[in-house]
């Protein structure tokens, strides 16, 4: 039973996940584009912005969370570290698909040093991510935030916590060889069915990630894309 469960999660569900994720994002973007904007244009000097200025504004906001910084310094620190941890472990997961051999040679790093750097960086970012989620869950359970919360808020936090805990379990408590995982994802991206990885913790982790991706276009977290598009369409 566990083999067939792993096979479905590894070979069938990813195609459903990709369809719902990209289809859901396309649906949301089309809906945003169709929302009527004010017919009156309120332009504040120095006037309309060029494409370069708009792009610079978007990048500045995404990287620095400038608006959050103006509102609350404490929230800015927590938000920046939290999002930085996401960036670091997403970047680290790219080693499952691409090994940046040219970069390691340029930095004169041995394979052992790269693995050590990956373990330290991934472990630190995964820990920060998990602790940040726990802090958000505690905040969500306290008043007055609790009175404003809906079941979807708790579901999303618990789902992300499951991803963080299972990922940290594999990193800190299991010995992982990258090659079987690289072979698995290579087959997946070339649309080839293959034997699932013999690691039920990974299968659980992969399942939770896919549930998150399916839910993402319909959750509050879609603000990651919506916020950028809003800046693009309004900063002119």
pLDDT digits (tens, 9 = 90+) for 198-215: 889 999 999 999 999 999
* CB 67, CB 227: distance < 8 Å: no
What span, in angstroms and rounded, lies between the C-alpha atoms of 80 and 63? 9
Q: How would residue 109 be classed by pLDDT, with cut points 50, 70 and 90?
A: confident
List the chain domain ranges. Answer: 2-6+68-234
| Mean predicted lDDT score pLDDT of the chain | 76
Nearest by Cα to 95 from 179, 175, 165: 179
Look up the pTM and report it: 0.76
pLDDT digits (tens, 9 = 90+) for 130-171: 888 888 788 788 778 677 777 878 888 899 999 999 988 988
State the pLDDT at residue 198. 82
Q: How confident is the model at residue 71 (pLDDT cuts 50, 70, 90)?
A: low
pLDDT-derived band at 127 (thresholds 50, 70, 90) equals confident
pLDDT, residue 223, reads 67
For residue range 16-56, list pLDDT tens digits in order.
Answer: 999 999 998 888 878 767 766 555 454 544 555 555 665 66
171 CA to centre of own chain: 18
- Whether residue 89 contacts residue 168, with contact meaning beta carbons closer than 8 Å, is answered with no
CATH number of the structural domain 2-6+68-234:
1.20.950.20
pLDDT at 20: 94
Give the residue from 20, 11, 28 showing the smallest Cα distance to 224. Answer: 28
Give the SS3 label for residue 196: coil
**C-alpha separations of 34 from 20, 84, 201 in Å:** 21, 33, 43
């Amino acid at each position: 039973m566990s083999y067939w469960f792993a096979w479905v999660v590894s070979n069938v569900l990813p195609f459903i996940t990709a369809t719902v994720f990209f289809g859901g994002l396309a649906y949301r973007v089309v809906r945003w584009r169709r929302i009527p904007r004010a017919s009156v244009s309120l332009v504040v000097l120095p006037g309309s912005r060029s494409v370069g200025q708009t792009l610079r504004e978007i990048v500045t906001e995404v990287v620095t969370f400038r608006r959050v910084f103006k509102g609350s310094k404490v929230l800015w620190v927590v938000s920046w570290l939290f999002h930085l941890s996401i960036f670091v472990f997403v970047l680290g997961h790219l080693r499952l698909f691409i090994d940046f051999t040219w970069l390691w040679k340029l930095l004169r790093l041995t394979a052992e040093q790269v693995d050590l750097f990956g373990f330290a960086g991934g472990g630190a970012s995964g820990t920060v991510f998990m602790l940040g989620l726990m802090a958000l869950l505690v905040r969500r359970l306290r008043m007055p935030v609790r009175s404003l919360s809906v079941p979807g808020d708790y579901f999303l936090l618990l789902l992300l916590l499951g991803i963080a805990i299972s990922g940290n379990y594999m990193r800190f408590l299991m010995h992982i060889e990258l090659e079987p995982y690289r072979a698995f994802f290579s087959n997946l991206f070339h649309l080839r069915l293959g034997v699932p990885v013999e690691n039920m913790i990974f299968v659980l982790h992969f399942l939770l990630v896919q549930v998150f991706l399916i839910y993402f276009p319909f959750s509050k977290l879609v603000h990651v894309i919506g916020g950028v598009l809003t800046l693009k369409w309004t900063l002119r």
